[in-house]
Structure 1
Amino acid sequence: MSIDKILHSLTNLNMLHKSLLEIAYKKTEAIKTGDMDSLNQLLKDEQAHVAGISQLEQQRQLEVTDYLRAKGIAPIDNPTVAHVLENTNTEEEKEQLSTARKQLLLTLETLKNQNDLNQKLTFQSLQFVNMTLDMLRPKPDQINYSKNEVKRPSKDKSYFDSQA
């Protein structure tokens, strides 16, 4: 059995992850500028990409399972490309799979780093908003409505000057 289907799945997964990486870059800019409309649209696009990636990943797992079964290897819970690499006979196929796998892993690592940056930027933005709100909100210890704090005119003093 050939590895062509697995290679095709890996190539498609890499393309979708690169597209997701572009969305992550755009999200960074939207977070920096505070463009909420753009950020909302990017989040919707991101969800669509994640759904597509999930479907492709399921397809890749089926293809790897089918390949391993064809080689006479019992199916496993989470079949990976590394299992295929261990059981591939030709060096050419090993090289092709290894290259496609490395490209996907590199894209995934870059995407992870960009998402970490976006998470940090979002956290900083939330901290700034909370700090601003804290500055505008009165502190609980500044508001005191106890009876001894309320100033009332004494009975001896009058605010009306009768001699005027």
Structure 2
Amino acid sequence: MSIANIVVTLEKLEKMHKSLLELALAKTEYIKQGDMEKLDQLIKNEQSHVAAINTIEQQRQVMVTDYLRAKGIALTDTPSVADVITAAENSESTEKLVSVRERLIALLNQLKMQNDLNQKLVMNSLQFINITLDAIRPQQTEQFNYSGAQIRGNNEVAKRSFNDFKA
């Protein structure tokens, strides 16, 4: 396994994450507009992107594991690209690997910030909906008798005052 193959795989991951970031940006607009149909379609598209990213990530892990084993490096946890960078000897391929890794990390940070923003927008929308529903719903008034038990049913006796009764 060569570093060039790992670089190609990381570039695929970078391309897929860029596409995912574009979807996250579009999602922000749909949330702001309240366009649920487009948002639903976008989420389905986003799920297919995530599935493809998971597949590529599994390939990357296998490649990194194979590379490190070929170098005779004992693996303790899930091997990372940083482990490959430390084990690599060729400076040119290492520079490419470092460059792609840094771009991918920056892209992941952007994606995380955009997803955080989308989550906050959705939460604000839900809070607004709850406040609106609370304002529209009639307030329930609970009636209690002298013992503190709630009166059940729609009983006329419960609605009368003490002065309404005749001796």
Q: Please, what TM-score do these two structures have when normalized by structure 2?
A: 0.85
> What is the Cα deviation at residue 142 of structure 1?
7.4
**1:59 aligned onto 2:39:** no
> What is the Cα deviation at residue 75 of structure 1?
3.2
Aligned counterpart, 1:38: 38
Aligned counterpart, 1:24: 24
Gaps of 5+ in 1: 156-164
Once the two structures are superposed, what CA deviation does each residue of 1:11-66 show, in whole Å capped at 9, x if it has no partner? 00000001000000011011000000000001000100000000000000000011
Structure 1: how far apart are the matches of 2:117 and 2:102? 23
Structure 2: how far apart are the matches of 1:51 and 1:150? 65
Gaps of 5+ in 2: 144-150
Aligned counterpart, 1:50: 50
**1:120 aligned onto 2:120:** yes
SS in 2 for 1:141: coil
Letter in 2 for 1:24: A
- Structure 1 window deviating more from structure 2 (51-60 vs 133-142): it is 133-142
Kept after mapping to 1: 8 A contact 2:4/2:93: no
Aligned counterpart, 2:84: 84
> What is the Cα deviation at residue 148 of structure 1?
5.2
Once the two structures are superposed, what CA deviation does each residue of 1:54-112 show, in whole Å capped at 9, x if it has no partner? 00000000000111111111234311000001101122122111100000001100000
Letter in 2 for 1:50: V
Instruction: State the structure with more CA Rg.
Output: 1
How many percent of aligned residue pairs carry the same amino acid? 51
> What is the Cα deviation at residue 150 of structure 1?
4.6
Structural mapping, 1:142-153, within 5 Å: 147=157, 149-150=159-160
- Structure 1 window deviating more from structure 2 (141-150 vs 87-96): it is 141-150
Q: CA separation of 1:148/1:28 partners in 2, compared to 1, >3 Å: closer, same or farther?
A: same
Structure 2: how far apart are the matches of 1:150 and 1:31? 51
Aligned counterpart, 2:132: 132
The count of aligned residue pairs is 154
Query: Could you list the runs of 4 or more consecutive aligned residues of structure 1 that deviate by over 6 angstroms after TM superposition?
Result: none
Q: CA separation of 1:42/1:150 partners in 2, compared to 1, >3 Å: closer, same or farther?
A: farther
Aligned counterpart, 2:13: 13
Letter in 2 for 1:132: T
Letter in 2 for 1:112: K
Kept after mapping to 1: 8 A contact 2:11/2:100: yes
